[in-house]
Amino acid sequence: QAQYLSLTESIKGRHLERDAAIFDRRIFAPEARLDKAGATATPEERQRRFVDGVRAWLIKAQAGGDASDAFDAMERTVLLYRDGLDGGLLTDSDTRTTVQLLGDPALRNFREMSARVSQRERQLLQKLDLGRQRAALGGPYFWFSLVCQAIEQGVARLINGYNRHALPLVELPRASAEEKGRYEAWLRERRVVKQPPHKVRYVTTAFTALHFLDDDPLRDREVQERFGPELLQRLREDRRRLFRRVFGTYPLHTRPRDRRILNLYRTYESWLGGGRALFIPLRFAWATLRQSGRFLYWVGRCIREIRNPQPEAEIDAAAEADYRTAVRKIQRMRGPVNEACLTLRARFDPEYLGLCLPRAERCGLEGAGVDVDLRFLEARPELAQYIDEERARARDDLRRLGRLVEGGLLERAAERIGVDVEHFGAEHLRAVAAAYVGDLQHLRRNLSALEILDEVYTRAATKDPLPAFRLPRPRLYAKFRRYWRMHGKGDRRAAQAAWRATLHNVRGAGDALRTWALLGLDAKRLGELTLAELSRHPERITDQLVTLRAVQTLALIDVLNYREHIFNLGRYEDSQDDPGDLLTPPIEGENGT
C-alpha cells in the first residue's frame, strides 16, 4: 500500500474516450431520442461533454447538472463512472461497481417496488459483495480476494528484490565488488543468496507497485535509461511471469496418463479387492495425516516467503496456461456481478431485450442490447435460455400493454392526474412499459390478471405438464379450482398442466391468480390508479432505469479493463494467443455488425 498500489486506478482513466463511446451508444443516444432538445446533439458532442465532466470531477467536486433539469442522465453517469475510478485495478479496493449495484438508492428502489424481485433474491444479491465474505464457500469474493492477495504478495516480493539489488547505471562505477557481484548474480541467475534482514539494505527506492502492475511505455523507458536495457528486460519478464502465474492454472496434461484418468477396475483392485476393503479406515487415516503434513509444510513455506521475500526464480507450471484460462479466472471474479446486472436489467428494460415499446418503430438500443452482452461475456447456456424466456415474456407483456394503450389506458391515466394526454410523450411510454414489465407496485398483475392466466394456461395445455411440488398448497389450489370452474378451458389434462404452471409461477401465473382471487374486477381499477400515479412523475422511473443501465455497463467495462490489462501484462500475444472478440467493446454498429 505504501508503494502506490492504489494508484492503479489511473489505468482505468486511460480508456475514458473509449468508455465515453460505449456510454453514448448504450445510454446517452437512447435518452437523446426522448428529449427533443437533446436530439440535435451529435454523438461526438455528447461524448465530449461526458469526458469533460469526468475530468472536471477528477480535479474538484462539481455542483451537479443544470438545476432546471428534473433528471440529467449524463450527470448521473458521470458520477457513477467517477466513483468507479476510485477502485484501483487488480486491488481489493476495486469493488465500486458491486457497491453501486447493492447500495445505490435508485436500484434499491427499483427492487423494492418490483414484485418480480423476491426477498430471497435480494438476499442472494448480497452474496455478490466483493468487500467481505458473505458466502460460506466459493462466490466472487473468494476468487477476487485470492487473486488480489496473490498479486499483492507477488508485487511485494518483486519490489523488495529490485530495490535491494538493482543498481542505477550512474552508481555502477562507484559500487563495491560485493555489490556488483550480487547485482550481476541476481540478473543472471535470478536468485538471491539469503542474508539476514539486518545485513540487507535497499540500494534504491525507485521501484514501486506501478512498475509491476502497469506497462506504461514512458515508465519503462525511464527504467531503461536509469538502469539499462538488461534490467528492463528482466522487469518485463518478471511482470509477465507474475500475471501468467496468478491467472494461470496447473497444466494437467503434463501429469502421467494414469493419474489423469479414472480406471474403475484398477480402483477396485487397489481399494476393495483381496480383502483390502478391511483396511480402508486405516488408509483414510494415513491419507489424512499426509494431507495435514503437506498443509503444515505449505503454511511454513508461505510464512518463510513473507518473512524473506524473494523474486520467483523459475517460471511456474501455471504460466504455461493460455489466455482463455485467464479469462475464466476473470469470469469467476466479475462474472457473477455481471450476470446479476444483466438479469436484473432484462426484467425492467424491454428495449434491452430488443423489443419495441408501444407506438415506437424501433427499440433504440440496436447494437447495444442483451445479445451483444451475452456474446461479450460468453454467457452460460442457462443464462442465454433465461434471457430467451424473459424476451418471450416481455414480448407478450408489451403486446398486452399495447392493447391497453389503444383501449384508452393513457387517456384515463391523464384524466386522473389532471393533465392533457398530449403531455404523455415517449418518456411516459417508456416509464409505463418498464413499470408494467417489471410489475412495479403489482401494476402488471392488477391490470391484466385474467389475460395473463388465459395466456399461460392455454400455452401450458400444449406442452407436457411441469413437475409437481411435493408440499400441498391447499389455499392456492382452492383459488385455482374456483378460477377453473369459471374460466377454465380444456379437459383434465389441461387442468393439470395449468395447475402445474401455477405452482411454478410461470410468467407470473401464480401471482395473477392470487390477485384475481383477492380483488376480482377491482384489480383493474386499482391498476389504473397505480399507473396514473406512476405516470405523474415518469422521470423517477427514468432515474432508476438510467442508473440500472449505467451500472450494468460499468460492470461490462470492468471485465473489458481486466481482459485488456492482463492480456498486455501477461504478454499473451508473444505466445500467439488469439483473444478473438474478448477485447472488443460491448457495442456493435448501427446495422448490427
User: Distance (Å, rounded) from C-alpha 444 to C-alpha 24?
Assistant: 31
In 3D, which of 487, 514, 490 has the Cα closest to residue 502?
514
- Rounded to whole angstroms, what are the CA distances from 24 to 48, 49, 584? 10, 11, 16
The residue written with cell numbers 524473506 in the block is: 308
**Which residue pairs from 1-4 have beta carbons closer than 8 angstroms and sit at least 24 positions apart in sequence?**
3/155, 3/156, 3/159, 3/208, 3/209, 4/208, 4/209, 4/210
Q: Which residues pair with 440 in a beta bridge?
A: 114
How many beta carbons lie within 10 A of that of residue 110, not counting itself? 24
**For each of the chain's 593 residues, which pLDDT tens digit applies?**
788 888 888 899 899 999 999 999 999 999 988 875 556 789 999 999 999 999 998 877 666 555 444 468 899 999 999 999 988 888 888 999 999 999 999 999 999 999 999 999 999 999 999 888 776 667 888 889 989 998 998 899 899 889 988 999 999 888 888 888 888 888 887 554 455 555 557 888 899 999 999 989 999 999 999 999 999 999 999 999 899 988 887 655 556 666 656 677 777 777 777 777 788 888 889 888 988 998 888 778 767 765 555 444 444 555 677 899 899 999 999 999 999 999 999 999 999 999 999 988 888 888 899 999 999 999 999 999 999 999 999 999 999 999 999 999 999 999 998 888 888 888 899 999 999 999 999 999 999 999 999 999 999 999 888 888 767 889 999 999 999 999 998 899 999 999 999 999 999 999 999 999 999 989 999 999 999 999 999 999 999 999 999 999 999 999 999 999 999 999 999 888 889 889 999 998 654 44
State the pLDDT at residue 547: 96
At 70 the pLDDT is 47
Mapped onto helix, strand or coil, the DSSP state of residue 583 is: coil
Grid cell locating 433: 412499459
Q: What is the pLDDT of residue 306?
A: 58
- Give pLDDT, residue 22: 96
**pLDDT value of residue 254:** 58
Q: What are 114's strand-pairing partners?
A: 440
Per-residue pLDDT, 37: 52
- Are 34 and 239 in contact by the 8 Å Cβ rule? The answer is no
**Rounded to an integer, what distance in angstroms lies between the CA atom of residue 373 and that of residue 432?**
25
Q: What is the DSSP string of 319-384?
A: GG--HHHHHHHHHHHHHHHHHHHHHHHHHH-GGGGT-PPTT-SS-S-TTSSHHHHHHHHT--HHHH
Task: Please report the pLDDT score of residue 308 as a whole number.
Answer: 58
Q: What angle do CA 414, 419, 424 make, to 5 degrees?
A: 60
d(CA 267, CA 273): 9
